[in-house]
Every structure is written in structure tokens, then in C-alpha cells.
Amino acid sequence: MMRKTAGMAVVLMLAAVLIMQSLQGCTPFFWTSKSQTLLTSGKMVGRNTIQGDTDIFYRDLWDAVYMVSRIKGVIRQESRARGYIQLDVLSTIMDIRIIRMTKKINRLRITVKNEGEPRIDMAKEVFSKAIAEGARLSEK
């Protein structure tokens, strides 16, 4: 009986998060692994910025962002301690920040700088690949 109640509490909490995120215009992302369910909500916070909060460990999130960045383009600057990577992708500069919100929650923010039209599609792609890779690294 206790197990069923705990399961219902988790389902209700996830439903409440989904409703709140949809009211704010956010797009929720879920990754389920054997050991945990990772909840990440991603949203556009500007014309050229996407950000999301996740419960992936900082170390795993950094490793994932670094790996995806090396694949996507040329890293100009990096600082693991500050959680910052500046990336050059197809003549577009991408600033990636990992901000520690609490002990368990980290924020991933990706800003695209381009002289013409912002390439937000590239930011979304890097964001989703980094979160997926971070989730994979976290379950090890």
C-alpha cells in the first residue's frame, strides 16, 4: 500500500510540473533510465537564447557539453570552474553556460551570436544532445 502511494505522489508531482511548465511556455523533456528519471525543462528566454534546468550532476553535464561542443565546432574558450564554453560553429559564435542553481539543480544556457538571423536551431540541437548525453553519463 505504501509503495502505491509513493508512486502516485511521483505521478502527481510530474503532472503538476508539466502543467506549470506548459502555462509558462516551456517545453518539458524527460529522460528515463534504469536508476532515475531526469526532468529537464527547456525554454527560449530570448530571440537567441535557450535555457533549461536539470538535475544532472554538474560534472556529468560539463563532460556532456564539452563532448558535444568538440563534435559540433571549434572551442575558442573554456573554463570548467566557471562553467563556460565559447564555441565557433559555421561562423556563428555560441556561448554555453552551466550555472549551479542549488546543490542538485544546474541550469544550462546556450546563447547564439550571429550577425544575421540567429541560428536558434543550432542551440536547440546542442541543448538536447548535451542533456541526453549528460543523462547517459549520470546513470553510470
Q: Is residue 17 part of a domain?
A: no
pLDDT at 116: 73
Q: Which residues pair with 90 in a beta bridge?
A: none
Q: Is residue 75 part of a domain?
A: yes
Query: What residues make up the domain containing 96?
Result: 27-138
pLDDT at 36: 45
pLDDT at 139: 81
User: How many domains is the chain built from?
Assistant: 1
pLDDT at 34: 42
Burial of 134 (0-12, 13-18, 19+ CB in 10 A): buried
Q: Is residue 3 part of a domain?
A: no
pLDDT at 83: 94
User: DSSP assignment, residue 47?
Assistant: S
Q: Is residue 5 part of a domain?
A: no
Q: Is residue 72 part of a domain?
A: yes
Q: Is residue 20 part of a domain?
A: no
pLDDT at 91: 84
Q: Is residue 76 part of a domain?
A: yes
The CATH number linked to 40 is 3.30.310.200
- In angstroms, the CA 79 to CA 81 distance is 5
Residue-wise pLDDT tens for the chain (140 aa)? 445 565 566 566 666 666 655 555 555 554 444 444 445 556 777 888 999 998 899 999 999 999 999 999 999 999 999 999 999 988 889 999 999 999 889 999 999 987 777 678 888 889 989 999 998 888 86
